[in-house]
Structure 1
Amino acid sequence: MRISVIGCGYLGAVHAACMAQLGHDVIGIDVDPRKVEALENGQAPFFEPGLPELLTSARETGRLHFSTDMAAVAGAQVHFLCVGTPQKQGEFAADMKYVNMAFADLVKHVQPGDVVAGKSTVPVGTAEGLSEQLAPTGAVLVWNPEFLREGFAVKDTLYPDRLVYGLPTDDEGVPTAEGEKAKAALDEVYARTLSEGTPLVTTDFATAQLVKVAANSFLATKISFINAMAELCEATGADVTRLADAIGYDARIGRRFLNAGLGFGGGCLPKDIRAFMARAGELGVDQALSFLREVDSINMRRRVRVVDLAREVCDGSIVGRKVAVLGAAFKPDSDDVRDSPALSVAAQMQLQGAHVTVTDPEAVANARAKWPDLHFADSAVEAARDADVVLLATEWAEYRELDPAALAGVVAHRRILDGRNVLDPARWRAAGWTYRALGRP
């Protein structure tokens, strides 16, 4: 099929490359000419494992192209809307101006029978309004939410754990004739994926729009739950990692994402749960999601607590102390520093008088652009030189595997703060380090 992808940021660039890998003829559209030029040359504009290789192979087939001209979507049968919905400045609500602008431009170029598939994470009710705008063109709107994990985006697109179609339905919830035709088009797009047994959920617009934010809210709640338990463990002398192991054996709970630490960040979870709360308020059901305010609060408290831990191990003050922060991205295998707990903590320490040096395998350039007053280093050893305390803030594999004996040779004081609970305390203490972590004795 011929496919267009509108918006070539994190979601769109990956989706476009993967659709070409599945055999489709793809045109990606973005307003940023530098991004389009990079993608046209097979260069990923951000770090994502596997994407550069995928772009190269897809470009070599001749099935993948990028443009700044929306008119280039002509002839495409399915148009994927992948535009970002950041948090509004000074508000919890999602900023829909980018989606609305892109959609208004796209509508000028669609043809009767085309399918526009929304993938952006939007407030529930958005699809219904967009569908009305699209109706005069004879094209049909569906909602096909994405479930990508940064660091695993290529795998999650090519081998998703489920597909969701939000289709136009009648008053009884049955897909309309246009909805059935749109489903057939998406089935053709995802033919290989469906042939491999991937579960498919077909539903109405509202449900499809709620799936992504509901999933992110549940995940955020699970992470904040174990971080709340970490607060209790610190007050009682219990060990949150052993607690998580014990309750994780319960099949109803599971061990995944029960890792206490600095908490969640990035461009999805924080803004999605806040936008979810804002939309619930608009719908008059804000009490249903009031618990998400505490989820958000717990998450932000972890950042403050790490600064407090640094102060404790530095004999009550970090003023003038040299602090090495290992990690700037919000998670490993990414260069994304949006709402990064690691960078937030580094900045807090700097503002409180510490001399902070940050390092990261991939995110230094983005971190420097966001916080130019911080100092940066190219390696963990360089960052830790003469440090009074070392903070592991992003759990990159190379930081998890650091040799405590070797690192001891460059620091001023052997003090390690494990902000992600991924190090072996016994190993570090045996090498003479003072080891501290959130929720552990």
Structure 2
Amino acid sequence: MVQSTPDQDKPREQLLFELAELRQQLKLMARFQPDQGPSGVADLRHLEKINLIEEAIRKGRGLDAVMSRVVDAIRQAFDADQAWLMYPCTPDSPSFRVPYRSCHPDFPITFPADADLPATENIVDNNRLALERDEPLILHPDHGNNVPQEAREHASAKSAMLISLHPDVGDPWLLGLHHCSFEREWSPQEQHLLRDISGRVTDALSCMLLNSDLDESRQRLKRLSAELFREQDEQRKRFASEIHDDLGQPLLAIKVGLDNALYDLGENGDHSLRKWLISAAGLAKSLVDRIRMMQEALYPSTLQDFGLLVALDAFLSDFKKIYPTITVNKVISLQNENIPDALAGVLLRIVQEGLYNAAKHSRGDSVSVALDRRDGHLRLAIRDNGQGFDTLTIGPTPGVPGGLGLPSMQERAEMTGGVFSIHSAPDKGTFIQILWEMDT
């Protein structure tokens, strides 16, 4: 049997009180032994300041939030007047920015965070010196390196400590501390602390910059996909119009001409000629019908001529004729002018695919379509009362044919900036919802 230690039996409040007392004792020891050199107290302070930086990294969300918290924590850890991050730290860059800075109220940095500043000779020299070493670069008259004139003018800096950061993404950065009230000497312990902190900030920068690049790539891909989808939609509309004008209309004219010839020939006309005209007229009608189907498949004429709501009504009417045993409920609280033109074709296609999926695979007898605006979003929802399926596999339940078409619906939604979600379970039906963010 494992025996508990005395501390394990103590209440949590007592342990916290004893810990606070121990910290006070350590502070007193440090006060009365200032020249003792490296000690447990110094190590504890070092770790506390490292933890301060790591906590700032953990609590932030996104590059700007994390780095802003980090420079605040660094300034606090060193009790400095200013802490900042500069980018890029490269000798050949003609300009630089200081996007992240934390300043004492009495010593602000006077230029904006998004300002592109010229890389003067002094700045370039300091960047080169910082890049050439692993240890911090001290800018102080006693060290032979003075604070650049620009830092004295725009930041009131009198001494500085700098160290270069080398994240995995992009050019190096420069992490800097300024003291403005006097020419501060930076102790070896502080230099050691900045070196340790720089490693953690570099790791955080690498992660944040990589995530930022990925987010930008996703957004760029989404924009390109949306443009491609719009272009495809325009091509469908154009092809449908060309098929109607170049093929449909001439064939319709041929069919009318053949019908007129039959009428003129009359019932008592030449039998073989009449038979040929009937056959030709039937073939022309079949071709006209086929072309209309192709035209509707490419881009429904009702959608182009009358808008989405009429096109939806036409589709639902045809759907009920094909599947008379399925009850269709429609709840639409929008007008055509509330629906972006770029989404009209997408919405119709998704509704078509969603209802055909329900008819073919759900084995239910009811399906509903809702289109409305909620909380700044355009919302399309499709629900059926069928047998459902396991969403973890995005496939049908056993015994149901494959080919649900869900990837196509999701692709159409996401390529136009929508957020696609599906909820289903065996014997629980299926609910599909897509949200598009709308400008208010």
TM-score clears 0.5: no
Which structure has more RCO (C-alpha within 8 Å, separation ≥ 6)?
A: 1
More helix by share: 2
TM-score class normalised by the smaller sequence: under 0.3
